[in-house]
Amino acid sequence: MQRRTDLTCDDLVLIVTEDSPESHSPAGERIRHLASAVGSIFGKSIILALGASKKQKRTKISAGTLLYGINLKTRLPYPVSAFFDPMKFLLFLMYGLLLSLRYSSSLVIASMPPWETGLSSWIVAKLLRRKLVIDLRDDWESAAMESRLAEYVPAELIMLRSRIAKNMYSFSSTILAITPTLVDGIRKRGINPTIVLAPNGADTSKFYPRREEMRKRIRSKHGLPTNRIIVIYCGSGINPYYRLDLILESLKSLPDSVRERTFFVFYVYNGMESLRKFKDNLGLPDSLIEIREPLSRDKIAEVMSACDIGLVPFDDEPYLLYATSTKVYEYISSGLYVVCSGPNGGELDSMISAEPNNGVFVSPRVEDLVEAVSNAVGSLEYLFSNSRRSVRYTYIDKNYDRRKTMVTAVEKLVTEVWNPANSRWTFVKE
């Protein structure tokens, strides 16, 4: 991506994140595109992330972007780790201070959750008088109150953490938020910094449909059946709001005519053994479903394009009303029909229901998932043709290309928030 010539500056940006752009996680992929967008305007950035980059602590991942990996070897057990990990916080704080001083950064972007990234970035920004931007990816505070964490941690401590977070948000110059529902929630708490909508999306240069002949070659290459409808899930294998248990249970209830025509494949970056054990306990054969290790971005994009249906099985908890998933955009961009579940009236429901060609939204219940998959399999000629796949790709390319949306968000961050007269930012007319 070429750097913008009409909007330039001499500042350096420090991006603090738990998820490395080298990881397989959706958050890591968002960071990759955020750093690319920052580079298109600023020209240079530093990413501070957990996990050493391969065998090095510092790696150049693109022109003008360095990745520093923190190797946190000891993790606290749940639920302490989910509430607050002091070692993680101290490492982010120490390295954040050192890198900000070494490279003279003037802007710190904290990717949240976890809240340790935001808390450490807030302190760095206050001590060194830097500007702070919060990239808020989900409603993590409501999730803490409504998830299993509330069973172990007193509500008073969770509320104290939320009050500290409110002060952190209020100090920030800008908040990047992924959905309008999340924006509304921020405003209802009386948090008033400028908010820029920065939705998730797909890299349409990687995630795009292939023709039928190519799909068959890709399937053979990756050990997938060439004569079945392939249903794919990519993501976390242990995150509690992904109801993979319901997906697996629904396979037992599929009609024989549907089971004979479908093959399910899960690519998960954690929780693989527990999923395999659950699968075996249900008596599901490998001829129907396989649970596999994660693939690199390029390989998973290739595999995805050879599949037919993508799964996004959210739970229906109220805190998920804000949520969409990176994978839903990547599935659709690859030409897949998506089967999604979640809370009625949420962001995911609205997105899928507005474009029925892209997929179907149902409640997270076994019977609803069975019906959705069975109906899709019964509409083979209509849903999975090359023309339908192309229409889905065009929808994402037009509305949710991640490179475009991130560049737009960073440009708004510049032009709508800071006064050029009071900074080192230079605006050059085209």
- 58 within 8 A of 228, measured Cβ to Cβ: no
The answer to whether position 274 is within a domain reads yes
Q: What is the pLDDT of residue 26?
A: 76
- 243 within 8 A of 364, measured Cβ to Cβ: yes
Q: What is the pLDDT of residue 424?
A: 43
Domain residues for 69? Answer: 7-201+401-427
pLDDT tens digit string along 339-370?
Answer: 999 999 988 999 999 998 999 999 999 999 99
Which residue type does 21 have? P
> Domain containing 143 — which CATH number?
3.40.50.2000
% of residues, the chain, pLDDT over 90: 45
Q: How many domains does the chain have?
A: 2
Average pLDDT, the chain: 85
The answer to whether position 2 is within a domain reads no
- 245 within 8 A of 269, measured Cβ to Cβ: no
Q: Is the pLDDT of residue 147 over 80?
A: no
Comparing CA positions, the residue from 211, 163, 153 lying closest to residue 190 is: 163
The answer to whether position 315 is within a domain reads yes
Q: How many CB atoms lie within 10 A of CB 344?
A: 11
pLDDT tens digit string along 76-111?
Answer: 666 666 677 888 899 999 999 999 988 888 889 999
Is the same domain home to 196 and 324? no
Q: Is the pLDDT of residue 381 over 80?
A: no
pLDDT tens digit string along 264-299?
Answer: 999 998 889 999 999 999 999 999 999 999 888 889
Letter string b/e over residues 18-50, b meaning 16 or more CB atoms within 10 A of that residue's CB: bbbbbbbbbbbbbbbbbbbbbbbbbbbbbbbbb
Q: What is the pLDDT of residue 417?
A: 58
% of residues, the chain, pLDDT over 70: 86
Is the same domain home to 337 and 420? no
Q: What is the pLDDT of residue 81?
A: 65
DSSP state of 364: S
Q: Which residue has the higher pLDDT, 156 or 303?
A: 303
The answer to whether position 261 is within a domain reads yes
Q: Supply the pTM of this predicted model.
A: 0.81
Q: What is the pLDDT of residue 77?
A: 64
* Mean local confidence (pLDDT), 212-234: 94
